[in-house]
Amino acid sequence: MREDPALLSTAVEEVLRWASSAAHSMGTATRPVEIRGRRIAEGDRVVLWAPSANRDEAVFDDSDTFDIARTPNRHLAFGSGKHLCIDGTLARAQMRILYTELLDTATGIEQTGPAHAVPSIAVRGPETLPIRIVLR
Ligand code: HEM
């Protein structure tokens, strides 16, 4: 990104895909449907596991590679359909501001202690992650 700041937008999308911080969303099938040979009946509870969907090798080339230039990047980090995240726009703007500020002010970020994950199946990410930002 430092070499090519034009990658900011695709980098934000790749972080969203890679981190998949909203781990799952659950819904109830309103009609019977078959998805990849799996039958789902009306009334069945179904779960979208975002980290899995966002590494679907049928959708993403090299899905286990973090690629800030990835295009297209049709990830489901904000869910989909009726309950699509209402403020993906704000989340994206916050990420763009954070990365722009970091690129402007820092030369690196170092982890200074052990990371501990949030104890949740709904939210993915570190609860604590001690870091040191190396300023210019
Ligand atoms: C990186 C940040 C964010 C992620 C990963 C995220 C993810 C999601 C996901 C996956 C859903 C769908 C849940 C479902 O299908 O049941 C959702 C819904 C929602 N999000 Fe976000 N979200 C983020 C930031 C935000 C922000 C900043 C706001 C508001 C300021 C927001 C407000 C909402 C609301 C109100 C819904 C419910 C929409 C509905 O049920 O119609 N989200 N979000």
Q: CB of 125 closer than 6 A to ligand 1?
A: no
What's the gap in Å between 91 CA and the centre of ligand 1?
Answer: 9
Q: Give percent of the chain above pLDDT 90.
A: 94
Average pLDDT along the chain:
96
* Spatial CA neighbour of 46 closest among 32, 33, 29: 29
> What would the pLDDT profile of 91-104 be if each residue is shown by its tens digit?
999 999 999 999 99
Residue 55 — very low, low, confident or very high, per pLDDT cuts 50/70/90? very high
Domain coverage including residue 120:
5-135
Nearest atom (ligand 1) to Cα of 90: 27
Half-sphere exposure of 21 (CA within 13 A, CB side): 12
> What would the pLDDT profile of 15-52 be if each residue is shown by its tens digit?
999 999 999 999 999 999 999 899 999 999 999 999 99
Q: What is the CATH number of the domain that holds 56?
A: 1.10.630.10
pTM (two decimals) = 0.93
Distance CA 95, CA 16 (A): 10
- Split into its structural domains, the chain has a count of 1
Nearest atom (ligand 1) to Cα of 21: 5
Nearest atom (ligand 1) to Cα of 84: 12
Does 82 have pLDDT greater than 90? Answer: no
Q: CB of 25 closer than 6 A to ligand 1?
A: yes
